Structure 1
Amino acid sequence: MDNIYFFKEDCQFDLRKLKKHKAWLNRLANHYNYEILELNYIFCSDDFLHKINLEYLDHDTYTDIITFDLQEEADESHNIESDIFISIERVKENANNLNSKFLEELARVMAHGLLHLIGFKDKTDEEKKEMRLAEDKAIELL
């Protein structure tokens, strides 16, 4: 399981809380017949993620997650290489707004990024519904 790495930038967050998440993320990818070659989760502040959103996506908004697919070619290999940035502040606020536990909301957001890499989308209402169902199933796997 040396294929998933956790980092933090510009935030206070105890990465030890995520010990079981590496095996879970690998199970989730395998469930959809994908293999994680390298997956980096970078937990950060709102400001840090906002700067990335401006610089790379030209979006002047705050968000909870940005996923960068690092696969060299768009092929059918079902391999995953990615950097996923998650704002700890945004996840905490979302958890409060949804009356959810922080670690559950964090797991949902982590799964959300991986599900995008697997091919799930969330632009239309139908896609959002499918994504939410996949997130719920992912939480059950945890």
Structure 2
Amino acid sequence: MADEFPDIQVFNQTSLSIPLEQPFYQAVAKQLSDEEKCSFNFVEVVYVDEEKIVQINSEHLNRDYITDIITFRYDDTNHNHDIEGTMFCCGPRIVEQAQEFNESNKREFLRIYIHGLLHLAGYEDQSEKEKEQMSQKEEFYLNLAEKQYG
């Protein structure tokens, strides 16, 4: 299992061009699973618009605002093997954030994807300490991915 690439399915329901290619999603997920000692079985990455992310946020989390990503884990969360889940990513919000942070769209889309994988692997970002830990991990995996895959 350790040598297999996870099944990552990407769906773009927006008019945006997503700057990451399919093999990249699998390679980054494999890298993260190797480092974090977890395994992803099946992950959907669904890019949606602002209206849809607000609808999902409202229906599932009772929050009425735009966010960059909402992650749902479907498997038994008592272990970190055969992780299954869906990430709903707000493409237009990610593009806005890239501009706000003076980052390329590719880097910001990658950061949000890594953020979702970290959530699936069990990391939270509710407290300041958790947010700091996630930010450090995001930077680590961003730099690793950029070194290896450009």
Q: Which runs of 4+ in 1 moved over 6 A?
A: none
SS in structure 2 of the partner of residue 81 of structure 1: strand
> Contact 2:19 / 2:105 at 8 angstroms: preserved in 1?
no
Aligned equivalents of 1:23, 1:86: Cα separation in 2: 19
SS at match of 2:12: strand
2:19–2:106 Cα contact (<8 Å) kept: no
The code of the aligned residue for 1:28 comes to L
| Contact kept in structure 2, 1:41 and 1:85, CA below 8 Å | yes
- Gaps (5+ residues) in structure 2? 146-150
Query: Tell me, which stretches of 5 or more residues in structure 1 are unaligned?
Result: none
Q: Give TM-score scaled by structure 1 length.
A: 0.91
Amino acid at match of 2:128: D
> Within the alignment, does 1:78 sit opposite 2:76 as a pair?
no
TM-score when normalising by structure 2:
0.86
Q: Which amino acid in the other structure matches residue 69 of structure 1?
A: R
- Tell me the residue number matched to 1:64: 68
**One-letter code aligned to 2:83:** I
Corresponding residue number in structure 1 for 2:148? none
User: RMSD in angstroms over aligned alpha carbons?
Assistant: 1.6
Contact 1:80 1:117 in 2 (8 A): yes
Instruction: Tell me if 1:3 matches 2:7.
Output: yes
User: Partner of 2:137 in structure 1?
Assistant: 134
Counterparts in 2 of 1:139 and 1:16: CA distance versus 1, 3 Å:
closer
Question: Alignment partner for residue 104 of structure 2, among 101, 104, 123?
Answer: 101
**In 2: Cα distance, 1:103 partner to 1:127 partner:** 25
- Count of residue pairs the alignment pairs up: 140
Change (3 A) 1:12 1:77: same
Call closer, same or farther: CA 1:80–1:2 in 2, change over 3 Å. closer
The match for 1:49 is 53
CA shift, 1:16, in A, is 7.2
* Aligned partners of 1:66 and 1:84 also within 8 Å: yes
